[in-house]
């Protein structure tokens, strides 16, 4: 009887630990479409977020991704490649690294090529352009995730001298890293082919995370880290909300 009770207690302890481990990350689809192709995502706050894509697509959420509204302006630009917001109201959208549109009221209205007002945003955005495959957390520290064929083994490269020298860190998996984002100097997230990785030590080490069932996540193309515990990622036709492990 005593041995049976001991066995039951051990099984209960094991099951509770296992449940806590596999539920440390939650990946949930919050939007899906067959009408558009998505290219980039950015959240300036936990509630406000933007997604851009082809066919002049601009999606906006004001409730943390639970619902989305199409707010595309009539600009004559038919393919938005990148989006960045300094805060909930001030942001810009780039088409293939050249044409830009700018808003100062959260996307209610947009201006073309408002260069004078975009200088500070462009300075912040220059290392976030998709063609560069780089993300800088400050004027010196940056991360690059595509060095051509060198990235096939899942490396993330880091510089602390404004790109003069780069070191590399293995992420623990062999899939290509497609995008990285940092919420501060220490905490970052990276995504790739059915891969999500996080760091809490400025990219020196990376942890592979799974969804709530312990299986690999969907393939994502772009990621926006909102806080240490929250990110949003997109595929070509879907938006996902990711609760990061602390």
Q: Specify the pLDDT at position 224.
A: 94
Q: Within 13 A of 222's CA, how many CA atoms are on the CB side?
A: 25
Integer Cα distance of 52 and 97 in angstroms = 14
Q: Specify the pLDDT at position 235.
A: 92
Q: Specify the pLDDT at position 156.
A: 81
Q: Specify the pLDDT at position 226.
A: 93
pLDDT (tens, 9 = 90+) of the chain, 246 residues, equals 555 444 443 333 333 223 222 345 577 888 898 788 999 999 999 999 999 998 889 999 999 999 999 998 766 657 888 888 889 998 888 876 667 888 899 999 988 765 544 454 544 444 444 445 667 777 788 887 765 444 456 778 888 887 788 887 777 777 778 888 889 889 999 888 888 888 999 988 888 876 556 566 788 999 999 999 999 999 999 999 998 655
Instruction: Report all structural domains of the chain as residue ranges with CATH numbers, in order of start.
Output: 25-243 (2.120.10.80)
Question: Token pair of 221, please?
Answer: 């193309």
**For the sheet containing 195-199, what is the strand order?**
177-182, 188-192, 195-199, 207-209
Integer Cα distance of 241 and 233 in angstroms = 7
DSSP codes, 70-128: E-----S--B--EEEESSSS-EEEEETTTEEEEESSTTSS-EE--HHHHHHHHHHHTTS
Q: Specify the pLDDT at position 49.
A: 97
Question: Token pair of 100, please?
Answer: 């830009």
> End-to-end distance of the chain based on CA atoms, in angstroms?
41
Query: pTM above 0.95?
Result: no
Integer Cα distance of 39 and 203 in angstroms = 25
Q: Specify the pLDDT at position 123.
A: 44
Q: Specify the pLDDT at position 151.
A: 47
DSSP codes, 8-31: HHHHHHHHHHHHHHHTS-EEEEEE
């Amino acid at each position: 009887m005593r041995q049976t009770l001991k066995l039951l207690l051990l099984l209960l302890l094991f099951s509770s630990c296992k449940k806590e481990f596999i539920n440390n990350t939650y990946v949930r689809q919050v939007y899906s479409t067959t009408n558009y192709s998505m290219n980039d995502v950015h959240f300036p706050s936990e509630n406000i977020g933007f997604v851009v894509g082809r066919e002049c697509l601009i999606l906006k959420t004001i409730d943390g991704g639970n619902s989305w509204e199409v707010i595309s302006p009539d600009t004559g630009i038919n393919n938005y490649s990148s989006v960045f917001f300094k805060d909930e109201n001030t942001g810009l959208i780039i088409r293939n690294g050249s044409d830009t549109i700018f808003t100062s009221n959260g996307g209610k209205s947009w201006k073309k090529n408002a260069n004078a007002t975009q200088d500070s945003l462009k300075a912040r955005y220059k290392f976030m352009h998709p063609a560069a495959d780089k993300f800088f957390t400050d004027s010196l520290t940056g991360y690059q995730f595509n060095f051509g064929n060198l990235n096939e083994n899942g490396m993330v490269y880091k510089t602390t001298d404004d790109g003069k020298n780069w070191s590399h860190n293995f992420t623990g998996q062999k899939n290509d890293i497609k995008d990285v984002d940092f919420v501060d100097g220490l905490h970052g997230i990276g995504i790739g082919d059915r891969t999500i990785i996080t760091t809490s030590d400025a990219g020196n080490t990376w942890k592979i995370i799974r969804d709530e069932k312990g299986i690999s996540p969907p393939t994502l193309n772009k990621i926006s880290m909102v806080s240490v515990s929250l990110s949003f990622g997109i595929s070509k036709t879907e938006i996902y909300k990711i609760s990061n492990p602390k």
